[in-house]
A and B are shown apart, each in its own frame.
Chain A
Amino acid sequence: MLTGTKLEALLAKLRRALEERGDAEAAEKLFREVVAEAQRLGFASAYVHYVLAGALDRMGKLEMAFDELKKAMKADPLALPMRHSFEDVAARLRAALADPARAADDAAVPRLYALLVEAGEADLESHLVMVRFAVATAQLERARVLAEAVTTLFPAAREAWEALARVARAQGDVARATAAEAEVAVVGVQIPLFGVEGKAMA
């Protein structure tokens, strides 16, 4: 068990950071100093990353909080409270990315999208937002690659095929657009449960 004055000084700093009420920036600085010093001592402290993530979240620094939670989970992948916080912040990042008020060409889109993809937390809507961004910023080739990939990942999602059809049409690839539209029509058909048509009777 690590002991000594160096550790005591760092623990005192950590306690000060946790007790800091008025100056959130000062608390963040203290936390980051503890993280750096701990690393110099050879420790990646899941606990410190986790409490720093909480402080950053309260400050509205959601992307930084997510980054700290990733580090916490790397240090302790079996910690359920950290996992729950990670999932909560990931959900809020997804919601922020897919916010209908966000312009299609918003510069924050690729950054938020990359954060989610790297963490394996991007969902269908996240990918579609990125496709829309690529179209809105005239990156049609990038949009096409993404849209094709999204239809592979989510072959039963009507929106994925619709996005691919739009991108292909914008590229002038009528054949692919028509094929994607045909998929939209197929995906839209409701297959009867157990293949049984008609109404259940008692």
Chain B
Amino acid sequence: MVSEPKDEILLKVQAAQSLSSEDPEKAELFLRSALKDAEALGHSSPTLHLHLAELLYRLRRTRQALEEVIEVLELDPFNLVALKLHGVLGRRLR
């Protein structure tokens, strides 16, 4: 059975979600791979960028997390979750 590229991306996102607590580094790899695949398909997903931002925030990689949040807000400036995280990250960096 041949799976759709979108299904494969969603599987990577699911894998990242289930790994995010016990192995966040591996979860990051899955998310980055999903984002790369999505980009190749011409999809830009604010939610995927937000997942990655939240993960990086928990890993205390603040600057990288902020880059991802900015990406979310470029795509969807009305995302209040991203806006809140943007504020938190900004305060952490000051």
Measured CB to CB, the residues of A under 8 A from B are 1-2, 7, 10-11, 14-15, 18, 34, 38, 43, 45-48, 75-83
Contacts and interface: CB of A to CB of B under 8 A. Distances in A.
Nearest to A35: B78
Interface string B68-93: 00100110111111110000000000
A2 B13 contact: no
A34 B78 contact: yes
B43 A77 contact: yes
Given A15-B80, A80-B13, A80-B17, 9 more contacts: A1-B73, A18-B80, A38-B78, A46-B76, A47-B78, A77-B45, A78-B13, A78-B45, A78-B48
Secondary structure call for the A interface: helix
Contact of A78 (B9, B73, B74, B76): B9
Nearest to A51: B80
22 contacts: A1-B73, A1-B74, A1-B77, A2-B73, A15-B80, A43-B77, A43-B78, A45-B76, A45-B78, A45-B79, A47-B76, A47-B78, A47-B80, A47-B81, A47-B82, A48-B78, A75-B76, A76-B46, A76-B76, A78-B38, A80-B17, A81-B47
Interface residues of B, number: 24
Nearest to A79: B47
Contact of A11 (B17, B34, B80): B80
Contacts of B47: 46, 76, 78-82
A82 to B, nearest CB: 7
A11 B78 contact: yes
B14 interface: yes
Contacts of A75: 76
Contacts of A48: 78
A83 B81 contact: no
Interface in B40-58: 43, 45-48
A10 B78 contact: yes
A81 B48 CA distance: 11
Contacts of B38: 78
Contacts of B60: none
B10 A80 contact: yes
